[in-house]
Structure formats: C-alpha cells, structure tokens
C-alpha cells in the first residue's frame, strides 16, 4: 500500500506541475486531495463493513414475518400518495406488510412494505417504513437513493473526477444510519472545510 501511495503521490505532483500554470487546480489543492485519500485509505476496513451492511439491507421485497393485520385501505391510499413522488405513474404493487425492521431504521419502526410501480418502459421499487403510525421512505432507502445518485463527473481532470466520486461515496459511508448504542464514527473526511471543486468555483 505504501508503494501505491508513493506512485499516486508522484502522479499527483506531476499532474499539478503540468496543470498549475494554466489551470485552476493548484499544487495545494492536489495535496489536499492526497491527504483526504490517505484518510479514506486508513478507513478502508470500516468503509468495507458499512458497504457490506448496506448491501445486506438493500431495499427489496420481504414476505416474512407478516404483520398480524395486513395493510388497510387507508394505508394503501397513504402509500400510493407517498410513492408518486418517487415512482412512475403506473400500476403499483404493494408487498405484504412485514415486521422486524432492521435496527438501522430506529426503534420507532414497526413495519415495512416494498412498493413496485411498472409501466411499458421500466419497473422501479421503493421501501417504506412505518414509524409513529405513518408510512415514510425509510432511512436505509433514503441512503440508497443518495448512493445510487452518485455518478462520476467529467471535469476534464481525471484525478479530480476520481477524487470527487470517492469523496461522495465515502461521505455516504460516514453517514450510513447506525443502530442504537453504536458509536458515531468520525465525520471529518476532508483535510479542509472546502473541497477542491468548491475552491475552484471561488476562483
């Protein structure tokens, strides 16, 4: 790993030297990027554990354990109205209501459903959790919506593109919901309050 970081350091330094005269990327910003990536590398095992747990909880249909009373007509109307914000306006299928929410959803979660909408072009689903007698998009589903929205950018600088993608993903790992009683992980993932992209925008 030290050799890999040595090679990366040389690559960053070379890129900074080549671009600093005619680009808004400066050697200082490259050094900040490197410090951040070194921090992320030190958190690799923790991030891998978070990724593994997130994948285990990837939203999907469950059929057990069933709630004693399945979904009511009033709940169906609530679910349909809620999912219109996220799913295509098409036929909606609601799974059976199940209990045993994962602890990441919090102690107030009493039930979950998985809602699927489909039309001629695509099928999409979303997981809802029932907390305090209301259906809402669960915290794990919200996290996955944000994770799946992360895409690699095209700034014209391959190192910056790589950095921004890793920053977005690793910050989500830091924010993944924790079960009650778990220690809150360190939240500082960057060496400075501003990202290189934010610094560039100011110039």
Q: What pLDDT does residue 103 have?
A: 97
The pair of structure tokens assigned to 179 is 């079960």
- Domain assignment of residue 54, yes or no: no
Higher pLDDT, 19 or 121: 121
Say if pTM beats, i.e. exceeds, 0.85.
no
Q: Tell me whether residue 151 is in a domain.
A: no
Residues 113 and 169 in one domain: no
Give the Cα separation of 164 and 169 in Å (integer): 9
Burial class (CB in 10 A: 0-12, 13-18, 19+), 171: middle
Q: What is the pLDDT of residue 8?
A: 55
Same domain, 138 and 192: no
Q: Of 146, 166, 184, which one is at a domain's C-terminal end?
A: 146
In terms of domains, do 169 and 141 share one? Answer: no
d(CA 171, CA 192) in angstroms, rounded, equals: 14
Confidence of residue 194 (pLDDT cuts 50, 70, 90): low
Q: Does 20 fall in a domain?
A: yes
Domain housing 183: 2-43+157-202
Does 197 have pLDDT greater than 60? no
> Over pLDDT 70: what percentage of the chain?
77
Q: Are residues 89 and 134 in the same domain?
A: yes
pLDDT tens for 50-79 read 999 999 999 999 999 999 999 999 999 999
Does some domain include residue 49? Answer: no
Tell me, yes or no, whether 115 and 180 share the same domain: no
Give a yes or no: residue 108 inside a domain.
Answer: yes
Question: What's the pLDDT score for residue 89?
Answer: 77
Residue pLDDT, tens place only, 164-192: 999 999 999 999 999 976 766 555 544 44
Secondary structure letter of residue 105 according to DSSP: G
Do 161 and 132 share a structural domain?
A: no
Determine the 3-state secondary structure of 157 from DSSP. Answer: coil
CA distance 46 to 52: 10
For residue 185, report the phi and psi dihedrals to the nearest 5 degrees: -70, 165
Q: Is the pLDDT of residue 198 over 50?
A: yes
Q: Report the pLDDT value the prediction gives residue 20, as an integer from 0 to 100.
A: 40
Claim to verify: residue 161 and residue 142 sit in the same structural domain: no
Answer whether residue 59 is part of any domain. Answer: no
Q: Over the stretch 44-56, which tens digit does the pLDDT of each residue have?
A: 999 999 999 999 9
**pLDDT at residue number 186:** 56
| 166 and 137 part of one domain | no
Residue 82 shares a structural domain with residue 139:
yes
Residue 118 shares a structural domain with residue 175: no
Query: Mind listing the pLDDT tens digit for each residue in 141-155?
Result: 999 999 999 999 998
Residue 3: the pLDDT is 38
Average pLDDT value over all residues in the chain: 83
Domain count, the chain: 2
Q: How is residue 167 written in tokens? A: 């920053």
Is 29 in the same domain as 89? Answer: no
The pLDDT of residue 117 is above 70: yes
Is residue 65 in some structural domain?
no
Q: Is residue 111 part of a domain?
A: yes
* Residue 89 and residue 111 in one domain: yes
Tell me the C-alpha distance between 64 and 24, whole Å: 55
């Amino acid at each position: 790993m030290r050799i890999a970081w040595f090679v990366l350091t040389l690559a960053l330094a070379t890129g900074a030297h080549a671009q600093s005269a005619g680009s808004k990327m400066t050697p200082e910003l490259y050094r900040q990027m490197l410090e951040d990536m070194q921090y992320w590398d030190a958190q690799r095992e923790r991030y891998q554990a978070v990724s593994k747990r997130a994948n285990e909880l990837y939203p999907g249909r469950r059929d057990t354990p069933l709630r004693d009373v399945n979904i009511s007509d009033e709940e169906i109307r609530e679910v349909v109205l809620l999912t219109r914000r996220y799913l295509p306006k098409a036929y909606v299928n609601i799974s059976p209501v199940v209990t045993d929410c994962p602890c990441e959803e919090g102690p107030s979660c009493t039930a979950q459903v998985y809602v699927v909408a489909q039309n001629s072009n695509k099928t999409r689903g979303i997981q809802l959790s029932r907390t305090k007698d209301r259906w809402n998009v669960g915290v794990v589903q919200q996290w996955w919506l944000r994770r799946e929205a992360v895409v690699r950018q095209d700034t014209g600088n391959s190192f910056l593109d790589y950095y921004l993608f890793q920053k977005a993903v690793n910050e989500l790992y830091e924010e993944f919901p924790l079960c009650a009683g778990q220690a809150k992980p360190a939240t500082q993932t960057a060496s400075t309050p501003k990202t290189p992209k934010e610094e560039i925008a100011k110039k």
